[in-house]
Amino acid sequence: MGRTVAVVGGGYGGAAVAKALDADADAGIEVVLVEPKDAFVHAAGSLRALVQPEWAENIFFPYDRLLARGRVVRGRAAGVDAGGVTLADGRRVEADYVVLATGSDYPFPAKADTDDAADALDQLRAAHKELSGAARVLITGAGPVGLELAGEIAAVWPGKRITVVDPAEEIMPSFTPELRAELHRQLDGLGVELRLGTALADPPPVPAGRADAFTVATTGGGEIGADIWFRCHGVRVNGGFLAGSLTPDAMTRQGQVRVTGTLQVRGYDNLYALGDLTDLAEAKMAGYAMKHAAVVAENVLAQVRGDRPGAVYRPSPVPSILLPLGPGGGVGQFPPESPGAAPALLPASTVAAYKGADLFVGRFAELFGTGTATATATEAGAATEAGTETEAGTA
Ligand SMILES: Cc1cc2nc3c(=O)[nH]c(=O)nc-3n(C[C@H](O)[C@H](O)[C@H](O)COP(=O)(O)OP(=O)(O)OC[C@H]3O[C@@H](n4cnc5c(N)ncnc54)[C@H](O)[C@@H]3O)c2cc1C
């Protein structure tokens, strides 16, 4: 058949779909993965990498053993059309099908602003040094990232005073009251102060991640003093480069790509999108991106065989999460086994055993061929929260 599939972005979803298509030897597809980074960064481990720099290398996985037949082109896509991908440096990847998987960026330490793993490691180690000497830590944003960071810091430095602020009145509003109550209980036990309904009047006067004592006013008239702060909100979708490529109808104002149930880009037959880049009505999570990857791989393979793409992705109506608070704590919620039943609250021991202990690093080592066994992308995807046998979601 001799078809080429260009996958743009080698994050959770892009790496998974590239591996799945590459693994199907009979289909005769050449996979070309376009990715600016020299290594996949397992973002779910980045907060632990900050507090345990000796462990930090575990979150980087080189791309060189991901594909058996296809190739990885290190570069940044600047445009896409029906015939392939144009890179920012002018190179061109001709392709019969294109999968858009450029995901999203997030402020450091959750994601780094560099494409070089060695630089990213240096940034984590430098921030760790700053954090080590800071007695008072301010975290802005009490979403899963902010709370997980608070838990990681408390686990390593129980003596630090950690304050998390958020303008919302409630944490994790889409989850059950039982999950919220358990989170509050564990955060109290760790000595983390949660200041909900609280916004900062201005950003702190020192850069995030740099140790330097400061005081900042809150909109309610109060003050917070800290020695270092981290920003844990402000996700940015990486869709800007598509503005001149796709029809306006194929994108939202926020730069997300509109997809159909088959995960084809709206209005295009040979263009797919997945993961955080899409306008799918669900939380943006790695586990979901890997589920999208399985659907996209099935549909591309169908098209290559001359069939209609028939696999349809349906977001789960019930949110799921595994939220570690350090290696031994955390909360989790999976959708109920039977429709209509209440979602189950997972105890800290289950969260720790399933995720908190190694943050899935072992599974990604297998996916990227740096571990002992080799799992396919979809197998590894099935092992993340969004793909357990209970249809569980992601953290
Ligand atoms: C701290 C933290 C912890 C998290 N923990 C979890 C968790 O435990 N479980 C979970 O399910 N989710 C978790 N998430 C969410 C998860 O990281 C995202 O949902 C996931 O990264 C989305 O995957 P993706 O494949 O859509 O894109 P991404 O993983 O964002 O990957 C996009 C890739 O595209 C590349 N790229 C960007 N622009 C271009 C371009 N122009 N050309 C080519 N390539 C480009 C990037 O370099 C990147 O490699 C966490 C997020 C954070 C920030």
264 lines ligand 1 (CB under 6 A): no
What's the CA-to-centroid distance between 252 and ligand 1, angstroms? 19
Q: 87 and 75 in contact (C-beta within 8 Å)?
A: yes
| Residues 193 and 253 reside in one and the same domain | no
User: In this structure, what DSSP letter does residue 139 have?
Assistant: E
- Do 101 and 240 lie in one domain? The reply is yes
Alpha carbon of 12 to ligand 1 centroid (Å): 6
Q: Which of 34, 284, 285 to mutate to test the pocket of ligand 1 (most atoms within 8 A of CB)?
A: 285
Q: What is the pLDDT of residue 1?
A: 54
363 lies in a domain? no
**Are 102 and 8 members of one domain?**
yes
Q: What is the mean pLDDT of the chain?
A: 92
Mean pLDDT calculated for residue range 175-200: 97
Q: Going by CA atoms, what residue is nearest to atom 9 of ligand 1?
A: 395
User: Six-digit token pair at 138?
Assistant: 């301010």
Distance 277 CA to ligand 1 centre (A): 9
Tell me: pLDDT of 25 over 90.
Answer: no
Q: What distance in Å separates the CA atoms of residue 325 and residue 344, rounded to the nearest whole number?
A: 18
Q: Does any ligand 1 atom lie closer than 6 A to the CB of residue 47? A: yes
Q: Decide: 106 in ligand 1 pocket, CB within 6 A.
A: yes
- Residues 204, 254: one domain? no
Q: Give the separation between CA 350 and CA 331, rounded to whole angstroms.
A: 9
* Residue 219 shares a structural domain with residue 246: no
| Distance (Å) from CA 17 to ligand 1 centroid | 14
Does 298 share its domain with 196?
Answer: no
Domain CATH for 269: 3.50.50.60
Evaluate whether 47 touches 41 at the Cβ level (below 8 Å): no
- Tell me, using a 6 A CB cutoff, whether residue 152 lines ligand 1: no
Residue in 152, 179, 182 with CA at minimum distance from that of residue 164: 152
Atom of ligand 1 nearest to the CA of 355: 8
Dist. CA 42 → ligand 1 center (Å): 8
Buried b (16+ CB within 10 A) or exposed e, 194-214: bbeebebeeebebebbebeee
CA distances from 80 to 13, 35, 94, 104 (A): 18, 14, 10, 18
pLDDT for 50 beyond 90 = yes
* Residue 386 in domain: no
Question: Quick one: which atom of ligand 1 is closest to the CA of 47?
Answer: 1
**What confidence tens digit (pLDDT) does each residue in 373-387 have?**
333 333 444 344 543
Confidence of residue 103 (pLDDT cuts 50, 70, 90): very high
Which range (4-18, 158-172, 288-302, 328-342) has the least confidence?
328-342
Is residue 141 one of the residues assigned to a domain? yes
- The response to whether residue 387 sits with its C-beta less than 6 Å from ligand 1 reads no
Counting from 1 in the atom list of ligand 1, the atom nearest the Cα of 34 is: 43
Q: Which among 280, 315, 350 is the end of a domain?
A: 315
Determine how β-strand 271-273 pairs with β-strand 97-100.
parallel
Closest ligand 1 atom to Cα of 13: 25
Does residue 155 share a domain with residue 12?
Answer: no
Classify residue 352: in a domain, yes or no: no
Q: How far from 151 is each of 50, 124, 140, CA to CA, in Å? A: 12, 17, 14
Q: Which of 250, 280, 315 finishes a domain? A: 315
Same domain, yes or no: 224 and 270: no
241 in a structural domain? yes
Cα(235) to centroid of ligand 1, in Å?
10
Closest Cα to atom 5 of ligand 1: 44
Answer whether residue 253 shows pLDDT above 50: yes
pLDDT level of residue 241 (50, 70, 90 thresholds): very high
Structural domain includes residue 378: no
What are φ and ψ of residue 273, in 5° steps? -145, 150
The number of folded domains in the chain is 2
The verdict on the CB of residue 42 being under 6 Å from ligand 1 is no
Mean pLDDT, range 132-138, rounded to an integer:
98
Please tell me whether residues 122 and 227 are part of one structural domain: yes
Q: Are residues 187 and 242 in the same domain?
A: no
Nearest CA to ligand 1 atom 3: 44
pLDDT band at 372 (very low <50, low <70, confident <90, very high): very low
State mean pLDDT over 14-25. Answer: 96
Percent of the chain, pLDDT > 90? 85
Answer yes or no: is the C-beta of 36 below 6 A from any ligand 1 atom.
Answer: yes
Q: Which residue has the tokens 């740099």?
A: 210
Q: Which of 315, 333, 366 is the last residue of a domain?
A: 315
Domain of 221 in residue numbering reads as 117-231
Contacts of 181 (CB under 8 A, 6+ apart): none
For residue 322, give the ligand 1 atom closest to its CA. 8
Pocket test for ligand 1, best of 100, 115, 394 (most atoms within 8 A of CB): 394
Do 203 and 292 belong to one domain? no
Q: Over range 17-36, report the average pLDDT.
A: 95
Mutation choice for ligand 1 from 7, 17, 35, 116, CB with most ligand atoms inside 8 A: 35
Same domain, 201 and 272: no
Q: Mean pLDDT, to the nearest integer, of 100-111?
A: 97
